[in-house]
Amino acid sequence: MNRILVIDDDEIIQNVLEKVLTKEGHHVEIAKNGKEGLQKLDLMPYEIVITDLMMPYANGFEIISKLKQHPNTEKASIIVISSITQEDSVMDSFKLGVDEYIRKPMMVGELLLRVNKLLANRSKYA
């Protein structure tokens, strides 16, 4: 069972991703903001982290930097879901090591495909 951490302050995104990803057979942990997300990093290693960029307490860029340094997530794949469409933000995210960038409003089917692709790649090169 793959472990996925979802960090997003939007209650709707939290509920939907939890249900949809759990149905796909993944173990999902939800964090309601950046601070809680960083606390959850100590719980267990994660294969994938899905995070928003604009959140209270710690923004997405800080979180991505910390994910890359934390032993439980240094090798995790990172997916950003954000309504920020500025080229700079997208480029900065990729420079920090993000694997996928999905713009809101998003297609759930697309997110699932990207999650599955990243997991497949991980098992292929593991």
Partner 1 sequence: MPDILPVNETGEGFTIPYFDQWMAMPVIIRVAVVFIGISTIFILYIQFRIWFTRYKGYLLNKRVEKVVPVIDALIAEEIFMKSETGQKGAPHINFDAFRIPLFANHKNKQILIDRLINYRRSFSGSIGNHFKQLYLELGLDKLSTKKMNRRSWNMKVRGIRELTGMDVSISDVNILPLTNSKRHELRTEARNAYIKLSKNEPFKFFDISSEPLLDWDQIELFKTITTTENIAIPNFARWVTYSNNKSIISFCLKLIVHYNQQDAAPAVIKLLETKDHILRAEAINCLGKLKYEPAEAQLRHIYSNQPLNCQLEILKAIGRMSTGESAQFLRQEFMYSTDFDIRKNAAMSFVRNASPEYIDELMEASNDENKLILKHSMNPLIKY
- Give the interface with partner 1 as residue ranges (CB under 8 A): 10, 12-13, 15-16, 19-20, 23, 104-110, 112
Where is 77: in which H helix or E strand?
strand 77-82
Q: Is 5 exposed, middle or buried (0-12, 13-18, 19+ CB in 10 A)?
A: buried
Q: In the complex with partner 1, which residue's Cβ is closer, 12 or 126?
A: 12
Closest approach of partner 1 to the CB of residue 100, in Å? 16
Query: Are 59 and 80 contacting, i.e. CB atoms less than 8 angstroms apart?
Result: no
Tokens coding 35 = 């601070």
Q: In the complex with partner 1, which residue's Cβ is closer, 95 or 104?
A: 104
Q: In the complex with partner 1, which residue's Cβ is closer, 116 or 121?
A: 116
Closest approach of partner 1 to the CB of residue 106, in Å? 6
Query: Are 76 and 68 contacting, i.e. CB atoms less than 8 angstroms apart?
Result: no
Closest approach of partner 1 to the CB of residue 77, in Å? 20
